[in-house]
Amino acid sequence: MFLIRIVLFPLRLLLAGWYRLRNIRRPGNVLFHQVPDQFTMLRPSGLLSMLIPRQEYHFYDYLALIELIRKSGYIRKLVLFVPPMQAGWNQIEQIGRGLQSLRESNGMEIIACCDGGNLKTLYIMSYADRRLGASEGSFYNNLPGADSYFFKNALARVGIAVETYSAGKFKAQGFEMLTRSNSSPAGRQNQKQLIQDLRGIIEDRLQNAVGLDEQHRKQVVQLIRKRLTFDMRDLVRSGYVHAQVSPERFRDFLFLGKESETASEVRHFLYRNDGTDAESGELAETKSTEPTPAEVKAQMRAFRRQQIQFKRELKAEARLTRNLINERQLAKRYQRSRYNPFRFRNDPMLALVNLEGPITMGRPGDDARPQVITAYPYRDILRALRDSSEEAVFLNINSPGGSADASELLFEAIYALSRIKPVYALVGGVCASGGYYLACAANRIYVPELSINGSIGVIRIRPNLKKMYDQWGIKKEVLFPQPERDLLSEAGPISAASQKRMRAELADAYRLFLKRVCRGRELDQRVVHKMAEGQVWSGRRFRTGQMADGHETFIQVIDEYRRNAGHPDSKQFRLNLYPESKTDVRTLLGERMPSPFSMMRVLGADLPRQVQDCLRVFADAGQKRLFYNPYLLHATIGSVTAHSEQSVSNNNHKRAQRSGIGRTRFLHARSNRQSLPSIILP
């Protein structure tokens, strides 16, 4: 590649000159932009991916777009249309921080408009200098809350009991829906504290919206706390929304300073006078005779005059909108300005490893796949990154935890990588239990304030199906009994000796967990113990407890790396995404993936069909909304299984090995890495 650029240097000079000429023309300084309602962390690759229309914005792509707007230098006004947001609160928070950087660094005026939505919509609008809304818009109050369901009595009716063994006072709270009839006092207190923290952060942002005075702040807080739904008129009275404008006339309002009226007459050839008065809407007295030729000519002359006036209005509007620029023009202009014919080497590369989903062991030789963290394949990726050309590694961790053995395997791989290259852990919506286990191996941890963290503890659950077997007349015979075999059996309670052995193993695993946290965070065990015991925390409180380094966004962390590595502020990076989500024929044909929750797979027993059907009812029993309702990330408990291996999560850990949008290709030779999906970071 270097030699090719040397040979083509004359052409590169001509191309650079052409780019300079293209950029001479003064660009527009007003950008209209619609915020995507949700994002993805996957980018399909492969030849067949071109056949799939792009549905969602990659989240880091979007943060890079906001940074590009900030670095453009000539955009003075950003006009946002904010839809009802479905993204997670952690993503909403990072978008807000990006908008805040626009206002602080460039003095950019931000105007936001919406026609309804939820609190996430209002959260983004809080960073705008002017907030406009549709007249009939309505909003849903989706503050974090807890709707807990308890299935112990229902399970008991069919003879199923669930036993939990944990290390950590609060660790078992995630499974209380299966083992209790109500929340334990400790679990209820921890949940209340978490919800209050999350609510407080959201309310604090909304009442500190740009331009709100003290009186209006109190009104906004009261509106949020007392109303489940409210409309645009309520927001106007509280001072949060400055004006009600129809979305059809939003642009006219911005440029003309007032809302233009829709013409009452028809301005095209389908004009028809039906005798209705345009002002009152009442039927006027008309003659029953047909119009004379003279009247027809008069109507045509009037119609032509209206057309001429309409064209004049269009020209006037074109003059007003001359300063507009769109995202495509912005990106092209920026790339043209960045083109340097004397640069013969590629931009430095960074690696982003997406660790999302429950943590399982997987199988050696499998491909790493999105939406589930399989230890063996991801360990191979992390090992390959030690000798790769990427300068630093960023881990996007969004996981409730999983297998203790798998977490330890990945911890060692990440820790070894962090001794060679800078490793940054970027927390998503959830970084609990095994997810935080992995994060502790990184050099730095960054958590959004609106995220769920902690759950430092160990838990193991097992179903006791003895009563159900008795009801169905099922007998289980063990031919070669072994000591402590009952630990892996679902056909009855375990012995006292087995319980003692299990509790000893849990205590050892918990001590190892604490040791890993102390080692990664360089903290005293007494400090870690205060935040442990299985407690869950908001990102703000977790960072205050020294368990994270900051709440910076991905772009801010990139800037920090740029400074620490000695790169100039203008240095541009290429971000390679791992694992690669390769689209294949199976994806295009929509083949149904195997169910992620399979109780039979965990039990490993060939039971009668009636028993299997009964078990599947409880395998899909309930998605317990612990903290977020209805759009926020929430922990789910999909089955009463996973008794065959230790777990460091308060969530279901047995996910299928195949998940995501297609097969994933593993890291190949260094020469093949240029084909990886990547993001250009300005």
- How far apart are the C-alpha atoms of 44 and 333, rounded to whole Å? 26
The domain locations on the chain are 2-143+204-260+322-338, 349-465+508-594+623-681
Q: Which residues, given as ranges, of the chain have pLDDT below 70?
A: 1-2, 5, 44-55, 252, 255-289, 316-321, 582-678
**Do 144 and 195 contact (CB within 8 A), yes or no?**
yes
Model pLDDT for residues 306-333, shown as the tens digit of each residue: 788 778 777 766 666 677 888 888 888 8
At 148 the pLDDT is 86
**Do 656 and 594 contact (CB within 8 A), yes or no?**
yes
At 627 the pLDDT is 29
At 55 the pLDDT is 60
At 485 the pLDDT is 80
Secondary structure of 594-657 in the HEC alphabet?
Answer: CCCCCHHHHHCCCCCHHHHHHHHHHHCCECCECCCCCCCCCCCECCCCCCCCCECCCCCCCCCC
Residue 185 DSSP code: H
Residue 175 DSSP code: G
Measured from the Cβ of residue 74, the count of other Cβ atoms closer than 10 Å reads 12
Q: Which residues pair with 373 in a beta bridge?
A: 359
Q: Which residues pair with 374 in a beta bridge?
A: 360
Cα–Cα distances in Å, from 82 out to 37, 102, 107, 232, 509? Answer: 8, 17, 21, 14, 46
**Do 495 and 483 contact (CB within 8 A), yes or no?**
no
At 664 the pLDDT is 28
- How far apart are the C-alpha atoms of 75 and 102, rounded to whole Å? 10
- How far apart are the C-alpha atoms of 426 and 449, rounded to whole Å? 12
What DSSP string runs through 338-366? H--TT--SPPPEEEEEEEES-EE---TTP
CATH of domain 2-143+204-260+322-338: 3.90.226.10
At 83 the pLDDT is 93
Does the N-terminal peptide bond of residue 83 adopt cis geometry, omega within 30 degrees of 0? no
**Do 152 and 181 contact (CB within 8 A), yes or no?**
yes
At 146 the pLDDT is 83
- The reply to whether domains 2-143+204-260+322-338 and 349-465+508-594+623-681 share a CATH topology is yes
The amino acid present at 531, given as its one-letter code, is M
At 608 the pLDDT is 45
Structure tokens at 678: 């990547």
Q: Which residue has 């209705």 as its token pair?
A: 276
Long-range contacts formed by 555-563: CB under 8 A, 24+ apart: 555/63, 555/64, 555/66, 555/67, 555/98, 555/681, 556/97, 557/394, 557/424, 557/426, 557/444, 557/446, 558/350, 558/681, 561/350, 561/392, 561/422, 561/424
- The CATH architecture assigned to 349-465+508-594+623-681 reads Alpha-Beta Complex (3.90)
Model pLDDT for residues 326-375, shown as the tens digit of each residue: 888 888 888 888 887 777 778 899 999 999 999 999 999 888 888 899 99
**Do 216 and 131 contact (CB within 8 A), yes or no?**
no
Helix (H) or strand (E) holding 423, with range, is: strand 423-432
- How far apart are the C-alpha atoms of 33 and 425, rounded to whole Å? 30
The amino acid present at 385, given as its one-letter code, is L
The amino acid present at 97, given as its one-letter code, is R
CA 124-142-626 angle, to 5 degrees, is 120
- How far apart are the C-alpha atoms of 221 and 206, rounded to whole Å? 8
